[in-house]
Amino acid sequence: MKKKRIYLDYAATTPVDSQVFSVMRPYFTEKFGNPMSIHAFGREASNAVEKARQTSAIFFGCDPSEIIFTSGATESNNLAIKGAAISLVNHQGGSKPHVITTQFEHSCILNSCKKLEEQGMAEVTYLPIGNDGLVKINDIEKAIKANTLLISVMYVNNEIGTIQPIKEIGKLIEKLNSNREQKIIFHTDATQAINYFDCKVDNLKVDLLSMSAHKIYGPKGVGCLYIRKNIRVTRIQDGGGQEFNLRSGTLNVPGIVGLGAALEIAEKERKKVSKLVEKLRDHMITRIMKEIKGVKLNGSKLKRSPNNANFIFQDVEGEGLLLGLDIEGVAVSTGSACSAGDLRPSHVLMAIGIPEEESHGSLRVTLGKYTTKTEIDRFIKSLKEVVARLRKIAGK
Ligand SMILES: *Cc1c(COP(=O)(O)O)cnc(C)c1O
């Protein structure tokens, strides 16, 4: 009999919650209208989208008109970074705004910033990250210049799970803005934070916030961007003018309905899931550190998402570990799914100062609400075998 597979890669994606799927389902079949249509089919679809917008607004503590539905966090981040920068350039009569971000953002933030630099639209500072995986407020404060107009810092890192001090950064920017004519816009990529942390935009004091449904037990290909009232963002896609003319294209109605449902469930289950996942994760870390020699945990132990552990196994290649575990039916990751298959060292581990040779032995294990203790214990059993085998082959 084939063994049941074990999924420990929840930071890459999550399965759709069955409750989410059942509310989405009718919008594929009988309720298939285009929300732009004026007839009853269209109104039915449009009502469902507006209901999801309200649910999302409740989750983020904002007004529904501040929520823009997109195809996911990659698009939300592109729209936030490029849209805000382009609008600033237009507004300032062509002078270059200064953008501050960190070296360990998701590739969609880093590549959006690089694109702005290439096109001469912005000047960008990429802040280093401490060995604990945390950005220092002091570094942000020091990097701010007269023409700094956009700061983007992720809430929870997708590889090492460390939680950035978003509220403190928000407070700093608010304080500085009170004396500035041109206000600094603050963006956060909250994709990995939604399940576990407070995402009320006024508590965080953010102007822009990105998220994606498929990381929170919702469907793939849908996300949203929160844009605070009075913050100017220029659209980067032209068309029929949907989403307040900020994101043209026929709306992904079932996806949006699913996103709303997933956010509602995330809020309701947050406490319970956080506790469950953290307990299992800590049990796993304790056992691994005790039972396997030459293991290190990357990033702060305390300031990290309850579902994340990122290890370095000495004298082992992470790729080999991943493939060995895959044969055993266990799914983990060496870094971010978006750069999997890429043998370059992880930019996140480099940013927190892990030497290149060491970073090749890294393994990311991310748990979720369906993870069980039996799965964790079976994973550890396989891990011990695979690590021992690989070390033996390497003659260590
Ligand atoms: C997954 C992820 C993204 C990309 O989201 P998509 O919806 O897959 O485009 C962006 N940022 C972070 C932090 C992520 O974890």
Length of the chain in terms of residues written: 396
Contact 129, 351 (CB under 8 A): yes
Give the number of the atom of ligand 1 that is nearest the alpha carbon of residue 75. Answer: 9
Task: Pick the closest to residue 222 from 178, 257, 189 (CA basis).
Answer: 257
Task: Pick the closest to residue 73 from 209, 246, 198, 195 (CA basis).
Answer: 209
CA of 77 relative to ligand 1 center, distance in Å = 9
CATH architecture of 6-15+270-393: Alpha-Beta Complex (3.90)
Where are the domains positioned within the chain?
Answer: 6-15+270-393, 18-265
Give the per-residue pLDDT at 247: 97
Give the per-residue pLDDT at 346: 87
For a substitution probing ligand 1, which of 107, 109, 212, 346 has the most ligand atoms within 8 Å of its CB? 212
Q: Identify whether 224 is a catalytic site residue.
A: no
Topology of domain 18-265 in CATH is Aspartate Aminotransferase; domain 2 (3.40.640)
Angle at alpha carbon of residue 4, lines to 2 and 5, rounded to 5°: 115
CA of 101 relative to ligand 1 center, distance in Å = 16
CA of 195 relative to ligand 1 center, distance in Å = 14
Amino acid, res. 31: K
Locus of tokens 């996911």 = 72
Q: Which CB contacts under 8 angstroms, 24+ apart, belong to 318-321?
A: 318/360, 318/361, 318/362, 318/363, 319/343, 319/360, 320/390, 321/361, 321/363, 321/383, 321/386, 321/387, 321/390
What residue owns the CA closest to ligand 1's atom 14? 191
For a substitution probing ligand 1, which of 71, 152, 155, 158 has the most ligand atoms within 8 Å of its CB? 158
Structure tokens at 273: 């899931």
The mean pLDDT values, 10 residues at a time, for the chain of 396 residues are 86 98 98 98 98 98 98 98 91 83 97 96 96 96 95 97 97 96 96 98 98 98 98 96 97 98 98 98 97 94 94 92 96 70 78 87 96 98 97 89
Give the per-residue pLDDT at 253: 98
Give the number of the atom of ligand 1 that is nearest the alpha carbon of residue 213. Answer: 7
Contacts of 51 (CB under 8 A, 6+ apart): 257, 260
Give the number of the atom of ligand 1 that is nearest the alpha carbon of residue 108. Answer: 10
Contacts of 132 (CB under 8 A, 6+ apart): 162, 299, 300, 303, 352
* pTM score: 0.96
